Amino acid sequence: MAGPDDDELLDAIAALWEKLDPPPDDLAEGVLARIETNDLDAELLTLVEWDKELSGVRSVAMLRAPDEVGTWSLEYLGPGFRVQLRISRSQRQARLDGWVVPAQPMTVFLTSMGAKPTTDETQVGESGRFEFPVTPTGACRLTFVSDPSSTRPLVTPPFWI
Amino acid sequence: MVSVSEGFGTEVPASARWTASAAAFTAWRDGDRDALDELVRLLSPILWQVVRATGLDRATAEDVVQNTWLTLVDNAEAISSPLAVSGWLCTTARREAWKVSKRVRREVATDGDVLSWALPAVDGPEDGIVLADDQVVLRRCLSRISERCQSLLRMLAAGPRPEYAEVSEALDMPVGSIGPTRARCLDKLRGELISEGAF
């Protein structure tokens, strides 16, 4: 029979799927951040909720295009608590509001993971609320340390602000 | 390893990717941390295809790809030859994906939301993707063969050609029937392509 041989056909199928189903743009970054987190000897929080209708072809952690403005939310599950995040981005800057449920005393660090990493710090209030009124943009992650520190720090996988 | 035939178009010949991966893996094992970045960038897109071919949704697939790399970091010394690294990663990813999809299938009724092997709907995540003319024809022809054939061919096509034993496990088919089924599916596809006048 004329036509391509089996290997050529399979290669063509592979190439078609690479086009139809490309990986998230930040797939490799997510992997590297996860490896790095693993090296930190911290425990990873699990992403359990996000604005599903927004995720599109981007990674679940990168809900909006970098220049988009608006508000979106993420929720992570840790041992014995949940963290809800609301990210609001305007033209000029972004802010992050968070709630730890149930409320418990913790120190929260927001680390940007760009070429020049920065870290901001705040405390979880009595109601479980915490905030970073001005945040860096790009790939970030949060680290939660219990007060007094008794367990390993808990970190989120990288997410996009 | 054959690179994708000219007519169907591709960016990187597969063989170059495996050679570059072997070099990066060697460098990383010799203490060059940056080489791990390169390895991850080279092979993660392949692992993505391998995992997605098992039918997992995008978020779960991303998680499986990350776990696969953690397994490599923890077991690097288990890989005997640097050239084996891509095969090892793909096998690990496929097994992990299969384990997860089995669990998902037990927990959720398979309404196609979490597990989906078939070609994506027209308004799916591939909006705005431009296919070459021959890819449009190939896609049309693929959609005319059975879903089982589509999923088998996608799985066999992703990454370095997998062992039949792994595919048998993932698709719940006897090992002995993979070869004949593969031949039958490819023949059906070839028939469709010929009837489209693609050759």
Q: Residue B158: give the domain boundaries.
A: 117-199
Task: Give the number of domains in chain B.
Answer: 2
A129 domain-assigned: yes
Q: Which of B53, B82, B110 is the last residue of a domain?
A: B110
Distance between CA atoms of B158 and A18, rounded to whole angstroms?
Answer: 9
Same domain, B74 and B128: no
Nearest CA in chain B to A4: B190
Same domain, B86 and B140: no
Contact A34 B153 (CB under 8 A): no
Q: Which of B62, B131, B157 has the CB atom closest to A30's CB atom?
A: B62
Same domain, B91 and B128: no
- The Cα-based distances of A112 to A87, A99, B189 in angstroms read 14, 20, 49
> In sequence order, what DSSP letters do the residues of B117-172 get, joined into one string?
-SPPPTTSTTTTPPPPHHHHHHHHHHHHS-HHHHHHHHHHHSSSPPPHHHHHHHHT
* A108 within 8 A of A121, measured Cβ to Cβ: yes
pLDDT of residue B127: 59
Q: Inform me whether the pLDDT recorded for B81 exceeds 60.
A: yes
Segment A87-113, tens digit of pLDDT: 988 877 889 999 999 999 999 999 887
Contact A1 B190 (CB under 8 A): yes
pLDDT of residue A67: 62
Measured between beta carbons, the chain A residues lying within 8 angstroms of B186 are 6, 9-10
Largest CA distance in chain B: 55
CATH number at residue B77: 1.10.1740.10
Same domain, B141 and B195: yes
A14 domain-assigned: no
* A84 within 8 A of A73, measured Cβ to Cβ: yes
Q: Residue A127: give the domain boundaries.
A: 24-160
Task: Give the number of domains in chain A.
Answer: 1
Same domain, B97 and B122: no
Q: Inform me whether the pLDDT recorded for B31 exceeds 80.
A: yes
Nearest CA in chain A to B53: A17
Cα angle, residue B131 at apex, residues B124 and B145 outer, rounded to 5°: 70
What SS3 class is residue A77? strand
Q: C-alpha dihedral over B117, B63, B164, B191, to 10 degrees?
A: 30
Same domain, B105 and B121: no
Q: Which of B94, B110, B126 is the last residue of a domain?
A: B110
Segment A123-135, tens digit of pLDDT: 999 999 999 999 8
Segment B134-151, tens digit of pLDDT: 999 999 999 999 998 999
